[in-house]
Amino acid sequence: MIIKRSILSAAIAATMVMGISGCSDSGDSAPSESAPAPAAAPAAKAPAATAAPKVATVAHVDTATATDGPSLSAADFERAKNLYFERCAGCHGVLRKGATGKNLEPKSTLELGQERLEKILTYGTEGGMNNFDDIFSKEEISLLATYIQLEPPVPPEMSLAMMKEATKTFVDPKDYPTEPLHGLNWQNFFVVIERDAGTAAIIDGDTHKIVTHIDTGYAVHVIKATEHHNTEHPVGGVAGRFWYTMGRDGRMTKIDLWQTPEKMLVAETKIAYDARDVAVSGDGKYVIGGGYWPPHFVIADAITMEPLKVVSTRGVNIDGEYVNESRVAAIYTTPDESTFLVAAKELGQMWQVDYSDLDNLNIVKIDSAKFLHDGFFDPTNRYFQIAANASNKMVVIDTKTRKLEAMIDTTGKKPHPGPGANWDDPKYGPVSATTHLGTGMVTVWGNDPKGTPENAWKIVREIETDGAGVFVRTHPNSDFVWADQTKNPEPEIQQSVQVISKATGEIVKTIQVTTEAGKAALHFEFNKDGTEVWVSVWNRADASNPTGEIVIYDAKTLEEIDRIKGLTTPTGKFNVYNRTNHVT
């Protein structure tokens, strides 16, 4: 039996109403913690197209009706759905309406057809999409190309009661130690995301030795700590002691760096099926997690991890259109205010959420641009600078006035600063910078409206690099700015990073971090005193094994110092001292 796309969608909607396990997860969750799968069916089909796409050999095809469009068996549909979740949903959305990536609804993909879609998945695009030929097999690429020509399944919602049921305590707060139990310099620890292993590695920054691997959510996107706050002090501990992870499966975990290695994971909860970011209030009382699906944010007790409040981010965007999938991207704590910053990605709004009274939550919604993704503060901690990457803008929010300060149009496509970089340019004064997902460029702008108003929020340098990148980073004690080139499809460029002089704005060195096939170089973090730069080597083609590594360079001579091996897809790295003290 072949089920047409419209009938399949109606069946999914009906099973949601009846409460049967008839909906997919959000596309990114780990198989072991996925949301209910779509209703079982012998096959799923797309509507007829003018030119019927070539159907992959792995797809189930009824030869009598193949001209009606592509189809997948129920098993292949489920398999492709999980592949899409793990690698595609973050940029293109659960419902495939597009954001950082293009719209992938059937109205768009059917026009391209099977063969063209397979080529795009295989080789990537100049606009910033990676090649996937070193991650997916040809069979998987064919499956995905067919899958995105079918109607996307709609995931279920998640209630506060479901979140509370998922909350677990591994170490009771009353049993937390009053001093570190391991005798190590925990303030120079690095907390490292091991993306595909679903773990976080704790590495001693003094000895370069791995302390432990901690079970976290699948494909953790961000890890943040209790930070130094200018008006508040964390209860129950010191800044930098407790770290919180957010996995793409919505699992939010709490890590205590004072514990012995085997007890560092102290609690967890689950706030969504698909999520990206987390932050901790300045007083250490609350932790906030943002969901991609369901589109909402959740405020939990930072001590016990019990979810307390859920706020939907669905609403009307800056164009006056209602958005059902308004995902929460970046979340940050404002260092000078008792507020969280929440990026409502598809709405094009920054929400400044006052957490001083949860029962009467005060939210200021600041219109800016779509699609808000990741950002960082200026050195004064007053201005938050965030990429609206698909709009090719950097948005600046004044957290003191809670208003839009400026929007900077970038010539580089899809700005993506990651943790960002701030420094003093000898010609232009205080500046900030971003890399771009779609252009080999580091864009630099002035960030000091008080000291250098003539350059404030204006682009002062555009530094051409060899390839599009994801992360840029520096340190106050360093003479250089580091930029990766992960989004370029050429292996040699993917594997190389470029080092830029703060004094001249020129690239002074290109470093090929690895030459191994299927590996890429990305993300930077300095040690506490800024004398070392740590660069991740991501084992893209062998993501299930600990064949990734971190390469450490002397921040002054730019020469290699050491390699830390035994890591699985190491991605973001977070030095306790630097992140706790807002060192950018």
Tokens read off for 311: 């706020």
Q: Which residues of 162-176 are buried (b: 16+ CB within 10 A; e: fewer)?
A: ebeebbeeebebeeb
Tokens read off for 151: 């109607």
- Using omega within 30 degrees of 0 as the cis cutoff, is the peptide bond preceding 574 cis? no
Alpha-carbon span 242 to 255, nearest angstrom: 6
Would residue 264 show up in a list of annotated catalytic residues for this protein?
no
Would residue 23 show up in a list of annotated catalytic residues for this protein?
no
DSSP per residue, 430-473: EEEEEEESSSSEEEEEE--TTT-TTTBTSEEEEEE-SS--S-EE
Would residue 182 show up in a list of annotated catalytic residues for this protein?
no
Annotated active-site residue in 229, 416, 436, 523: 416
Would residue 88 show up in a list of annotated catalytic residues for this protein?
yes
Q: DSSP character for 327? A: -
Residue 13's contacts (CB-CB under 8 Å, 6 or more residues apart) are 154
Alpha-carbon span 428 to 425, nearest angstrom: 5
Contact 225, 243 (CB under 8 A): yes
With vertex at residue 436, the alpha carbon angle to CA 434 and CA 437, rounded to the nearest 5 degrees, is: 145
Give the DSSP H/E element, type plus range, for residue 123: helix 106-123
Q: Which residue has the tokens 């002035």?
A: 446
DSSP per residue, 344-359: ETTTTEEEEEE-S-GG
**C-alpha 328: how far from chain center:** 11
Tokens read off for 231: 């008006």
Alpha-carbon span 523 to 485, nearest angstrom: 10
Annotated active-site residue in 88, 163, 246, 305: 88
DSSP per residue, 60-86: ---TTTGGG--EEEHHHHHHHHHHHHH
Would residue 373 show up in a list of annotated catalytic residues for this protein?
yes
Q: SS3 letters for 162-220? A: HHHHCCEECCCHHHCCCCCCCCCCHHHEEEEEEHHHCEEEEEECCCCCEEEEEECCCCC
Nearest to 289 by CA among 254, 324, 257: 254
Annotated active-site residue in 92, 213, 475, 523: 92
Annotated active-site residue in 213, 221, 229, 373: 373
Per DSSP, the three-state class of 427 is coil
Q: How many residues does the chain have?
A: 584
Contact 69, 62 (CB under 8 A): no
Would residue 129 show up in a list of annotated catalytic residues for this protein?
yes
- Using omega within 30 degrees of 0 as the cis cutoff, is the peptide bond preceding 155 cis? no
Alpha-carbon span 84 to 164, nearest angstrom: 28
Contact 43, 2 (CB under 8 A): yes
> Which are the catalytic amino acids?
88, 91-92, 129, 373, 416
